[in-house]
Amino acid sequence: MVLLLGAGCNQVLGLSSTQVIDAGFFDAQIDAPFACPPTGTTPQFSRVLNQVVVQPVFEYTTSMATMRAVAQSPAGVVEGPIDDIMTSATGLGGDPACLSCAQLSFPRLTPEGDGVYGVTSSMIGAHLGLYRRANNEWMEVQTFKTPLGSFLSSVTRGPTRHLVIYDGVAFHEYAVDDGGSSTEVLPAYQPQDLGLFNLGNPMLTADGLHMVFPGAAVRNGTTTTEMYYADRPDLGARFTTATLLVDFPVVDSAYLTEDCSRIYISGLGSLFYAQRL
């Protein structure tokens, strides 16, 4: 069943139409592109948002290897099959209503699906941690001394993973391994390095070569916030000047899948995706 939602949804999310679908991840049209574009080519996405999970979930990340997803919700961290109902992820943080319990924010499922990175916070402080599943629940198995900012990006494939810490001004890229090491690998990205006036929360693809984020640019004396895309040829290179994702709604934590075929976004108590054209 396909249902076109009302104009209020479109006004909030900024696309021309929105539809509810009941379909698995691979039920996209047969000619859908399942490979990221060449370096220097900006992907274009449909103006139609597909509503796939009618739950208030956000910070959504996926693993194509296990076809699973992890996200945050008002009730805590949740998990489930891609594009399906999500339930509590036992061990990934406590009840948000428990002020004395350790909480997990920015849960990031590894591309391999066997681990979750995130920021563990408690009454004594906060740190970057790695969680693994054991006996049907998640347990923190490693901590990192990575400096924390206001936002943690998705993480790349191992054994050496890349992630971006956003401190409210600049992007700091770190290389981490599951054994606990953490190193800032490139000079921080200031807004002007990406051709912008201001930056917002970034998310990386599984290979670390593609990044999407909100950003602000000054055009004709007016500062405008829009969604941007940047890429690079390899992990040792810096990201190029960002290019505009035309007509895409401005949202935090927009998650680009590892094959660049979809961008997932959250809003209005649901999870949506836009299909690449």
Q: Supply the Cα-derived Rg of the chain in whole angstroms.
A: 18
* pLDDT higher than threshold 90 for residue 96: no
**Per-residue pLDDT, 196:** 97
Q: Range with the lowest mean pLDDT among 11-20, 145-154, 207-216?
A: 11-20
Rounded distance between C-alpha atoms, residue 69 and residue 108, angstroms: 9
Rounded distance between C-alpha atoms, residue 246 and residue 231, angstroms: 16
**Per-residue pLDDT, 136:** 86
% of the chain at pLDDT higher than 90: 80
Rounded distance between C-alpha atoms, residue 70 and residue 109, angstroms: 6
User: What integer is the mean pLDDT of 82-108?
Assistant: 87
Report DSSP letters for the chain, one per residue.
Answer: --EEPPHHHHHHH-SSEEEE----GGGS-TT---SPPPTT----EEEEEEEEE-S--EEEEEETTTTEEEEEETTEEEEEETTS--EE-TTSS--TT-TTS-EEEEEEE-TTSS-EEEEEEETTEEEEEEEEEETTEEEEEEEE-PPP-SEE-----SSEEEEEEE-SS-EEEEEEETTS-EEE-S--B-GGGGT-SEE---EE-TTSSEEEEEEEEEETTEEEEEEEEEE-SSTTSPPPPPEE-TT----TT-EE-TTSSEEEEEETTEEEEEEE-
* pLDDT higher than threshold 70 for residue 157: yes
Rounded distance between C-alpha atoms, residue 177 and residue 196, angstroms: 31
pLDDT tens per residue, range 24-63: 554 444 445 579 999 999 999 999 999 999 999 999 999 9
More confident residue, 93 or 103: 103
**Per-residue pLDDT, 13:** 57
At CA 165, angle to CA 161 and CA 167, rounded to 5? Answer: 170
Residue written as tokens 């909480």? 103
In this structure, are residues 138 and 89 in contact, taking their beta carbons and an 8 Å threshold? yes
**Per-residue pLDDT, 19:** 54
Residue written as tokens 């594009």? 83
Paired tokens of 273 = 């995706």
Max mean pLDDT range (17-31, 113-127, 154-168):
154-168
pLDDT tens per residue, range 249-275: 999 999 999 999 999 999 999 999 999
Whether the pTM exceeds 0.85: the reply is yes
* pLDDT higher than threshold 90 for residue 104: yes
Mean pLDDT of the chain: 89
Rounded distance between C-alpha atoms, residue 71 and residue 86, angstroms: 8
pLDDT tens per residue, range 204-234: 999 999 999 999 999 888 999 999 999 999 9
More confident residue, 26 or 240: 240
Domains and CATH numbers, the chain: 3-276 (2.115.10)
Query: How many residues would you count in the chain?
Result: 277
User: What integer is the mean pLDDT of 54-77?
Assistant: 96
User: What integer is the mean pLDDT of 113-140?
Assistant: 93
Rounded distance between C-alpha atoms, residue 266 and residue 60, angstroms: 8
Rounded distance between C-alpha atoms, residue 148 and residue 126, angstroms: 8
User: What integer is the mean pLDDT of 79-85?
Assistant: 97
pLDDT tens per residue, range 179-198: 999 999 999 999 999 999 99
Residue written as tokens 């208030």? 56
**Per-residue pLDDT, 23:** 46
**Per-residue pLDDT, 22:** 47
Residue written as tokens 């090491």? 181
**Per-residue pLDDT, 14:** 52
